[in-house]
A and B are shown apart, each in its own frame.
Chain A
């Protein structure tokens, strides 16, 4: 059974720092991995989608990597801003065609 873990559960950093969020999965047989952000009381916003054949995806200050062999994905945020404060979730599409979610990392960027 696929399990997705995100560590740490919470992270607080000063504005301007570069940071890395981690996502690990137990079964490497995934079709893709997607990163989202969720603002309090709101739905999810898709950030990056990495297909299983890809190693990384980039969008603006965000870069996500995928290493299936080690069961890991990382989301790199460059030059963090207070507006980046949110909960970041990763989800893996497993071999049973189900999206399995991590519990999220709550990120706070201090001005």
Chain B
């Protein structure tokens, strides 16, 4: 069974631009969650989607948004990029309906650099 995949793996953008990151969960998993990892703040929860619905959202500004498609693939969008958005963005998927109650399987991440 293929693991969680994220594209692209690396991305360089300039301030003010917007970016879209993609995450394909493990086949059969319907819950996808997103995280930001930085050296200063560590790992922080962004949001979780289940069956195309956002179930919970972390403490991030509205510039961070996401969506999930009917095939459970998810995208995360960041608008008006700031230097502080440079980070490793990780997504995770889990099976059943339990979402974050269940074991989380992570993708390799997308490394975003904002210049």
Residues of A within 8 A of B (CB): 31-32, 34, 36, 42-46, 49, 51, 89, 91, 93, 96-104
Contacts and interface: CB of A to CB of B under 8 A. Distances in A.
Contacts of B58: 98
B77 interface: no
Which label, helix, strand, loop or mixed, suits the secondary structure of the B interface? strand
A101 B42 CA distance: 8
Interface in B76-115: 90, 92, 100-109
A46 B100 CA distance: 13
B101 A98 contact: no
Contact of A101 (B44, B101, B109): B44
Nearest to A46: B103
B43 interface: yes
A43 B56 contact: no
Contacts of B44: 101
Given A89-B43, A91-B43, A104-B42, A97 B106 contact: no
Interface residues of B, number: 23
B101 A43 contact: no
B103 to A, nearest CB: 5
A65 to B, nearest CB: 17
9 contacts: A31-B101, A32-B101, A36-B106, A44-B92, A44-B104, A98-B56, A99-B100, A101-B44, A103-B42
A99 to B, nearest CB: 5
Contacts of B104: 34, 44, 46, 99
Given A32-B101, A99-B35, 14 more contacts: A42-B109, A43-B4, A43-B108, A44-B90, A44-B106, A46-B103, A46-B104, A46-B106, A49-B103, A91-B43, A93-B101, A98-B100, A101-B44, A103-B42
A109 B106 CA distance: 24
Residue of B35, B48, B104 contacting most chain A CB atoms (<10 Å): B104
A100 B42 contact: no
Contacts of B64: none
A93 B45 CA distance: 11
B22 interface: no
